[in-house]
């Protein structure tokens, strides 16, 4: 958790605090990310006036950041020479060759590597692996123990692969084509002749590093570069994690955009726009549409390299092509190309590389509640009681760092959260079929003196599990509990030590059902190492916590005018929505893109300064020369820390809670993290645009194979208000992870605070809980096949260009279309109904067919408290008939079935059922529903016994009222028919879903 203000006085542009933690919105500021790395010297003390706050910040700035990177592909000695290919050796699955430097070394940001090896492997018919590495194998590559490479099929070769590797020998270049379309534009193309003519002035005028003097392959010990041509204005998705102002489709520098510099460096920061944040996922999907044939194809490109990097999407002025350029400060060029050809198949093929997502427990799909700032257990109990009194379902209660004693992991405050009282309360939750999840921070506090006893530290020291300085001494940083050390996940004893610490915590009384991993980029408040001579006994944070004297969070909600609406936080005045009344809302201030050219080359200041928005790589992070077991430098493995912690925690929970699925939410991630944990979108803001941004965040992570994801509902930073929270509680009910969470010192935003929010929440949660069998089946498919549960509209309708940038609506599976309200003061919303008039969409609540425009938007009624949800024709959804207070209560009631026939009467659906908790998953049963013109057939296959009966069936699309209806060959008298909705409803049934059944009508 961290946070910062976004709106900052222009007088602050020069400041860049290096000792302040960005989680603190009011206290830290971090200048909205706008000044970090901009090369300006900050005053030693700056008084900041913002809203009603006054803070003092001590800052430093490394003067070496005053020089920006120049064009990176040439030097004063001439252009970089590229490489030539020789010693080619082919085999049935691919080829191997040597690449030698084709001329004098340019040594632009390091030392040119003279001898490279390229290995090309046709791994499957849809996956091609191209690996370019230094022949001496001295560059860092991700160990197999951290990222297990996928196995080749053994039967795939250059003749039966859908992808074709083509190359020129001198200068070496390669391009990837489809076998089915050898003369079409290549999918990836590094030939100089395919790229724009150079030299090119800075494509982004404010950033000299976007000047392009040429596109040679550069492979140095501290700098790698490779560029590929793209179709002009290509549709690019992925490359994260990021909150992108352009939306789900990345800005490639056309249609009024400036281009994208996606920085890969895991960073502890509060959800800035167009900057690097918590996770690193170097995977993109490109979607190409043929306007002549009105058909489309997608493909994917994944670079397995966790090094700090800039991935640039640019279109030079006047160019007839766009381009992607990779600039990395280490590692190798280890590419995987995925053939698709549909968006869904690209995502599924990526899962074969990184692994399919971990199985989620059924209870994880319930509603979760948390805040930073619950002062004691009595307050938490009161919140739970008020949720019950308001009849708002609550599945899981969470604790932030308030739980801890002295902010120390694996503790509980002996007064505020007494362990014995915690145990009793958590056991009461469990009796009510509810759950508890606490936070675990990345840093482990040092013992402060000889009388201080903190077993996780002393035991970890004995077992040698902490990261070290280059000289072998203990690396010391600073986080919430004061001066800290950090687990080294490469250390042989780390997993055993971590498991014991979590087990002891549970035995203490904190009997968790899951774990929340935070601050795991890993974050540290010092700029790199805290150094020598520190006062270990000083456990205070170097800033004032929010909500405490000197840092009171008094800012009004976005668009709120207290002179009109008073201090209550209500949204209306005499029934009129009042967002922005007599006020002009200030837009977010975003950082100007820029980076510094470092001097004095070493591990802490690589010569090419990537666009890390914190400036130096060690700022709010571990020093990049910190050393891991095996000799790994933090510079190379920094962005792997969160992934490795997630794996360790997953394995620990399997030992502590045997037979149960580990439920883990992690902030930082690298490719393959979804095998071990889920994700939340970090410390967002209580602003309307952040509710909108949450949709792209959820969709991004479907591509990344971390599908169980969601945002802090109603916003984390700043104060929310009634209208925003009302709309957000509805939207988030249709995202996988559903948790309301906000900052210490902000106004309360539990859903019972406002009556309208309570009503909206009850309605939305009821729909969510009814759909739980559908949600659960989607995630079973994700865990089995990598199929994305939540989808952008064009993933299902890939031949409709108007959908390619659409991210204000989304699909749950193939069948549920969600159209949230994302702006204030409105009672309608515009929607696109995909299918070009050939798909029938029905209102979820009324079952009315939508009279939708076939060429543009359709305006829908959207009064406060209502979210538009529509179901697609051809769907057959097994639902919970009576949503209960908890997921378990809901599961105990009978099922209902909703069938929405297409024009020819067809419908299909498959529901995966098991016990919802076993790990590995135990016996399961799949209930398949197939509809034709006059019947619905239910078949059951599997060994899991489905105890609940099917009590109700609704069939939509029945053109005329049936004269008779039968279930299992027996006539049913009690059915109704509604001609407007062409709806047949059967109630009072008791159908055994373990047997095959047919429902028929005449």
Q: Which tens digit of pLDDT belongs to each residue from 757-796?
A: 999 999 999 999 999 999 999 999 999 999 999 999 999 9
3-state secondary structure 272-324: CECCCCCCEEEEEEEEEEECCCCEEEEEEEEECCCCCEEEEEECCCCCCEEEE
Catalytic residues: 518, 521, 683
Q: What is the pLDDT of residue 673?
A: 98
User: Higher pLDDT residue, 559 or 198?
Assistant: 198
Q: Which helix (H) or strand (E) holds 487?
A: none
What CA–CA distance (Å, rounded) separates 620 from 252? 30
Contacts of 567 (CB under 8 A, 6+ apart): none
Please, which pLDDT band fits residue 575 given cuts at 50, 70 and 90?
A: low
What CA–CA distance (Å, rounded) separates 617 from 267? 9
Cα 932 to its chain centre, rounded Å, is 39
Candidates 536, 578, 538, 573; CA nearest to 557 is 578
pLDDT at 431 over 60: yes
Contacts of 565 (CB under 8 A, 6+ apart): 571, 572, 573, 578, 581
Which residues in 342-380 are b (16+ Cβ under 10 Å) and which e?
Answer: ebbbbbbbbbbbbbbbbbbbbbbbbbbbbbbbbeebeeb
pLDDT at 26 over 70: no
Please, which pLDDT band fits residue 494 given cuts at 50, 70 and 90?
A: very high
**Averaged over 147-152, what is the pLDDT?**
96
Which pair of tokens denotes residue 33?
């990310």
**Averaged over 551-572, what is the pLDDT?**
68
Q: What is the pLDDT of residue 565?
A: 65
Mean pLDDT of the chain: 89
- Beta sheet of 950-956, edge-to-edge order: 970-972, 965-967, 997-1001, 935-942, 925-932, 907-913, 875-880, 895-900, 950-956, 983-986, 975-978
The pLDDT tens digits of the residues spanning 377-398 come to: 999 999 999 999 999 999 999 9
Please, which pLDDT band fits residue 567 given cuts at 50, 70 and 90?
A: low
The pLDDT tens digits of the residues spanning 791-849 come to: 999 999 999 999 999 999 999 999 999 999 999 999 999 999 999 999 999 999 999 99
The pLDDT tens digits of the residues spanning 588-610 come to: 222 122 222 223 335 878 999 99
Contacts of 90 (CB under 8 A, 6+ apart): none
**Averaged over 466-480, what is the pLDDT?**
95
Q: What is the pLDDT of residue 34?
A: 29
**Which of these ranges, 1-5, 399-403, 430-434, 459-463, has the smallest mean pLDDT?**
1-5
Q: What is the pLDDT of residue 636?
A: 95
pLDDT at 552 over 80: no
pLDDT at 305 over 80: yes
Candidates 275, 439, 244, 371; CA nearest to 717 is 371
**Which of these ranges, 33-42, 268-277, 922-931, 938-947, has the smallest mean pLDDT?**
33-42
- CA dist 118 → 87, 134, 174, 229 (Å): 11, 9, 11, 20
Determine what percent of the chain is predicted with pLDDT higher than 70: 88
User: Higher pLDDT residue, 59 or 159?
Assistant: 159
**Averaged over 132-151, what is the pLDDT?**
96
Q: What is the pLDDT of residue 540?
A: 78
Candidates 499, 802, 531, 765; CA nearest to 654 is 499
The pLDDT tens digits of the residues spanning 48-96 come to: 222 222 222 222 223 233 234 555 554 433 589 999 999 999 998 999 9
Q: What is the pLDDT of residue 571?
A: 53
Which pair of tokens denotes residue 337?
């190309």
pLDDT at 995 over 70: yes
Q: What is the pLDDT of residue 374?
A: 97
Q: Which helix (H) or strand (E) holds 826?
A: none
pLDDT at 335 over 80: yes
User: Higher pLDDT residue, 547 or 751?
Assistant: 751
What CA–CA distance (Å, rounded) separates 323 from 325? 6
pLDDT at 9 over 90: no
Q: What is the pLDDT of residue 549?
A: 74
Q: What is the pLDDT of residue 851?
A: 93
Q: What is the pLDDT of residue 76?
A: 34
DSSP string spanning 778-811?
A: HHHHHHHH---SEE-HHHHSTT-GGGTT--SSEE
Three-state secondary-structure class, residue 722: helix
């Amino acid at each position: 958790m961290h946070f910062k203000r976004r709106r900052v006085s222009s007088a602050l542009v020069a400041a860049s605090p290096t000792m302040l933690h960005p989680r603190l919105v009011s206290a830290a500021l971090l200048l909205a990310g706008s000044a970090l790395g901009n090369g300006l010297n900050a005053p030693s003390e700056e008084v900041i006036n913002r809203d009603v706050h006054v803070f003092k910040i001590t800052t430093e700035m490394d003067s070496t950041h005053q020089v920006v990177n120049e064009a990176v592909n040439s030097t004063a000695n001439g252009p970089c020479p590229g490489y030539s290919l020789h010693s080619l050796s082919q085999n049935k699955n691919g080829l191997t060759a040597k690449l030698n430097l084709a001329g004098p070394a340019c040594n632009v940001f390091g030392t040119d590597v003279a001898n490279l090896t390229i290995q090309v492997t046709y791994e499957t018919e849809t996956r091609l692996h191209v690996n370019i590495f230094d022949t001496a194998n001295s560059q860092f590559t991700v160990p197999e123990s951290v990222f297990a490479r996928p196995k080749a099929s053994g039967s795939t070769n250059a003749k039966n692969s859908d992808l074709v590797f083509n190359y020129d020998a001198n200068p070496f270049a390669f391009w990837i084509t489809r076998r089915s379309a050898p003369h079409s534009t290549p999918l990836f193309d590094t030939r100089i002749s395919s790229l724009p003519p150079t030299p090119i002035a800075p494509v982004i005028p404010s950033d000299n590093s976007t000047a392009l003097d040429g596109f040679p392959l550069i492979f140095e010990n501290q700098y790698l570069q490779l560029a590929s041509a793209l179709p002009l204005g290509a549709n690019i998705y992925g490359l994260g994690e990021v909150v992108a102002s352009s939306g789900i489709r990345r800005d490639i520098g056309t249609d009024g955009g400036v281009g994208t510099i996606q920085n890969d460096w895991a960073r502890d920061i509060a959800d800035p726009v167009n900057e690097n944040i918590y996770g690193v996922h170097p995977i993109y999907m490109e979607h190409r549409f043929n306007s002549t044939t009105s058909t489309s194809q997608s493909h994917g490109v994944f670079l397995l390299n966790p090094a700090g990097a800039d991935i640039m999407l640019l279109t030079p002025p006047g160019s007839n092509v766009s381009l992607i350029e990779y600039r990395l400060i280490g590692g190798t060029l280890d590419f995987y190309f995925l053939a698709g050809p549909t968006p869904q198949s690209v995502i599924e093929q990526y899962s074969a590389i990184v692994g399919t997502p971990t199985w989620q427990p059924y209870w994880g799909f319930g509603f979760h509640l948390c805040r930073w700032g619950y002062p004691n257990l009595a307050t938490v109990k009161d919140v739970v009681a008020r949720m019950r009194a308001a009849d708002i379902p609550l599945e899981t209660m969470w604790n932030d760092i308030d739980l801890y004693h002295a902010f120390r992991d694996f503790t509980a405050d002996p007064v505020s959260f007494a362990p014995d009282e915690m145990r009793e309360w958590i056991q009461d939750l469990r009796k009510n079929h509810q759950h508890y999840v606490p936070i675990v921070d990345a840093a482990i506090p040092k013992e402060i003196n000889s009388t201080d006893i903190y077993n996780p530290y002393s035991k970890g020291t004995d077992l040698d599990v902490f990261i070290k300085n280059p000289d072998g001494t203990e690396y010391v940083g600073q986080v919430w509990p004061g001066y800290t050390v950090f687990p080294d996940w490469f250390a042989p004893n780390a997993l055993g030590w971590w498991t014991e610490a979590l087990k002891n915590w549970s035995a203490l009384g904190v009997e968790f059902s899951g774990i929340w991993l935070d601050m795991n980029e890993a974050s540290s408040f010092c700029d790199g190492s805290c150094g020598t001579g520190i006062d270990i006994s000083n456990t205070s944070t170097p800033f004032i916590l929010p909500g405490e004297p000197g840092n009171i969070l008094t800012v009004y909600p976005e668009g709120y005018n207290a002179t009109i609406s008073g201090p209550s936080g209500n949204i209306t005045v005499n029934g009129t929505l009042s967002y922005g009344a007599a006020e002009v809302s200030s837009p977010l201030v975003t950082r100007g893109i820029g980076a510094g050219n470092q001097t004095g080359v070493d591990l802490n200041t690589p010569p090419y300064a990537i666009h890390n928005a914190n400036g130096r790589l060690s700022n709010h992070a571990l020093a990049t020369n910190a050393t891991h077991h095996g000799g790994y430098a933090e510079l190379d493995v920094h962005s792997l820390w969160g992934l490795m912690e997630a794996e360790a925690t997953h394995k620990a929970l399997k030992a502590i809670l045997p037979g149960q699925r580990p439920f883990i939410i992690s902030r930082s991630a690298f490719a393959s993290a979804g095998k071990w944990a889920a994700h939340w979108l970090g410390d967002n803001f209580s602003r309307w645009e952040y509710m909108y941004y949450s949709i792209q965040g959820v969709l991004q992570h479907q591509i990344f194979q971390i599908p169980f994801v969601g945002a802090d509902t109603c916003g984390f930073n700043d104060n929310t208000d009634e209208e925003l929270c009302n709309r957000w509680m509805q939207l988030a009910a249709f995202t996988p992870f559903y948790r309301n969470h906000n900052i210490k010192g902000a106004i309360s935003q539990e859903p019972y605070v406002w009556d309208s929010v309570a009503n909206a929440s009850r309605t939305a949660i009821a729909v969510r809980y009814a759909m739980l069998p559908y949600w659960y089946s989607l995630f079973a498919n994700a865990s089995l096949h990598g199929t994305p549960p939540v989808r952008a509209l064009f993933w299902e309708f890939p031949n409709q260009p108007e959908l390619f940038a659409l991210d204000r609506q989304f699909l749950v599976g193939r069948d549920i279309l969600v159209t949230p309200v994302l702006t204030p003061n409105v009672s309608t919303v515009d929607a696109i109904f995909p299918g070009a008039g050939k798909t029938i969409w029905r209102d979820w609540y009324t079952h009315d067919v939508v009279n939708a425009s076939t060429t543009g938007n359709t305006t829908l009624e959207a009064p406060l408290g209502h979210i538009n949800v529509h179901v697609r024709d051809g769907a057959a959804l097994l639902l919970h008939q009576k949503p209960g207070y908890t997921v378990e209560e809901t599961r105990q009631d009978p099922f209902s079935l909703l069938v929405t026939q297409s024009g020819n009467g067809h419908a299909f659906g498959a529901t995966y059922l098991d016990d919802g908790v076993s790990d590995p998953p135990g016996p399961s049963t799949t209930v398949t529903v197939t509809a034709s013109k006059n019947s619905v057939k239910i078949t059951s296959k599997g060994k899991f016994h489905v105890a609940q009966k099917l009590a109700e069936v609704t069939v939509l699309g029945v053109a005329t009222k049936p004269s008779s209806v039968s279930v299992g060959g027996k006539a049913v008298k009690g059915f109704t028919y509604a001609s407007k909705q062409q709806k047949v409803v059967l109630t009072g049934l008791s159908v055994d879903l373990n047997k095959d059944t047919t429902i028929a009508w005449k």
